[in-house]
Amino acid sequence: MVDSYGGLIPHGGGAFSGKDPTKVDRSGAYMCRFVAKNLVAKGMAKSVLVSVAYAIGKAEPLMLEAKDEGGRSLTAYVRKHYDFRPLAIIERLGLRNPVYFQTAED
């Protein structure tokens, strides 16, 4: 995780390596980054921290929270516009169509 986001992003401890998109350690983190990036691009904040927590066997997250740089909640907006169920994340971000070859090229 530190290799991906440095020490800036809090993380529950699951590693990315060796995990396919069905594992929410990976896909949930990607979705949080996607949502945060889009909220900043929409001008809703200068920076956004999106947090999500899952339970094994449950599609709906146990917790979903989004806050801007001043601590203002953007959670209601995120819940309304973004689906954090694992299959929805996989489909929205195209995670079954990996681009490893292009990523690994010099």
pLDDT for position 21: 80
Residue 14: which of 3, 23, 5 has the closest Cα? 23
To the nearest whole percent, how much of the chain has pLDDT over 70? 75
- Give 73's DSSP letter: B
The dihedrals phi and psi of 68, each to the nearest 5 degrees, come to -85, 180
Identify the band that residue 11 occupies on the pLDDT scale cut at 50, 70 and 90.
low
pLDDT at 2 over 50: no
pTM for this model (two decimals): 0.81
pLDDT at residue 20, as a whole number: 78
Neighbouring residues of 32: CB distance < 8 A, sequence distance ≥ 6? 50, 51, 52
Q: Which domains does the chain have, with CATH numbers?
A: 21-104 (3.30.300.10)
- Assess contact for 106 and 44: CB atoms under 8 A: no
Residue showing tokens 């990523």: 103
Q: What percent of the chain has pLDDT over 90?
A: 60
